[in-house]
Amino acid sequence: MPRPGDGAPRAVTLIPGDGIGPLVTGAVEQVMEAMHAPLYFERYEVHGDMERVPEEVIQSIKKNKVCLKGGLATPMGGGVSSLNVQLRRELDLYASLVNCFNLPGLPTRHQDVDIVVIRENTEGEYSGLEHEVVPGVVESLKLITKFCSERIAKYAFEYAYLNNRKKVTAVHKANIMKLADGLFLESCREVSTKYPGIKYNEIIVDNCCMQLVSKPEQFDVMVTPNLYGNLVANTAAGIAGGTGVMPGGNVGADHAVFEQGASAGNVGNVNLVEQKKANPVALLLSSAMMLRHLQFPSFADRLETAVERVISDGKYRTKDLGGTSTTQEVIDAVIAALD
């Protein structure tokens, strides 16, 4: 595999996706070109109404090890499964990481928010094990395994250890789901004993949501089963500035897919697409995470610094951040702010 310094640019699989996806992935392409980042994109058209992710796309990600994607719209109900979930399973992207933090100059209700939500990405309620027992009665199975619970707990504690984080909080509902969430908690407790320098605590998911909106600064790293992680990450993102500015990635032992951190609820927002006013910040910051993952930290620092300058300056912001700028105006401002 090419390493930094050998002169070979890295190939990255690019999936523009649906709705605002092509707008915001296009933003990343422009900024990467302006920075002369040592990578190039292999573009594939994938859309949420497809039955499955094309095999050539899977093979491209397996070859390149890294992918950047826009949102893929998931049809509600019916028999079409989520391509996002398919990708995670096919590539065993077992950890979702969303960093929710205050951006300088962006006013929010709470300050000093810097939360990393690490979510188990392959099982739980997203296992897709549903069937109709009799007409009018549907059974949906929540699958929790010790292997996956230990694996995500180890990832969370290792992340905390390597990034000088002080505390890991396990989110659960073991007071009701005593076996499933009980197994998750048991796994987290076992792993925590191997990291004596990191404080460990537990919180029930409903209390967690209340605490997030009242005192979010108390949280550091949070480790969760699949469904709770989705809810917690979106709540934390809303507190820290909105889903339009929160970066994230899905990682496994061999592959990584970077995308907007919290759920892209505006993927299908027709007005944003028509007016070309989608916020590119989340995906720009996710691409900085990708650059760091590729071991190009100086490029990641340049990109993050430029984005923070634009946000702090306040002149160019999209509607979700209280401004009127178009996607392109924000991109041009970020490029101008690059060192």
What are 115-172's pLDDT values in tens digits? 999 999 999 887 778 888 999 999 988 999 999 999 999 999 999 999 999 999 999 9
Confidence of residue 265 (pLDDT cuts 50, 70, 90): low
Q: Which of 240, 271, 286 is the last residue of a domain?
A: 240
Do the domain assignments include residue 104? Answer: no
Q: Which of 160, 193, 171, 65 is nearest to 124 (CA)?
A: 171
Please give the span between the terminal C-alpha atoms of the chain, in angstroms, as a whole number: 29
Between residues 79 and 35, the one the model is more confident about: 35
CB 238 within 8 A of CB 216: no
Do the domain assignments include residue 102? Answer: no
pLDDT, residue 78, reads 56
Cα gap 244→219, rounded to integer Å:
21
Per-residue pLDDT for 216 more than 60?
yes
Range of the domain at 41: 8-97+245-338
Q: Tell whether 267 and 296 lie within a shared domain.
A: yes
CB 19 within 8 A of CB 48: no
CB 248 within 8 A of CB 232: no
Q: Tell whether 120 and 224 lie within a shared domain.
A: yes
Do the domain assignments include residue 1? Answer: no
Q: Which of 110, 104, 98, 118 is nearest to 215 (CA)?
A: 110
Do the domain assignments include residue 103? Answer: no
Count other Cβ atoms within 10 Å, centred on residue 243.
23
Do the domain assignments include residue 299? Answer: yes
Per-residue pLDDT for 81 more than 80?
no
User: Domain of 90: which CATH number?
Assistant: 3.40.718.10
Q: Which of 190, 206, 240 is the last residue of a domain?
A: 240
Do the domain assignments include residue 324? Answer: yes
Q: Which of 257, 252, 251, 221 is nearest to 236 (CA)?
A: 221
Cα gap 224→339, rounded to integer Å:
38
pTM of the model: 0.91
CB 25 within 8 A of CB 14: yes
Classify residue 142 by its DSSP letter: P
Count: domains in the chain: 2
pLDDT, residue 264, reads 54
Q: Tell whether 236 and 274 lie within a shared domain.
A: no
Do the domain assignments include residue 308? Answer: yes
Per-residue pLDDT averaged across 71-76, rounded? 77
CB 265 within 8 A of CB 29: no
Q: Which of 240, 274, 294 is the last residue of a domain?
A: 240
pLDDT, residue 6, reads 57
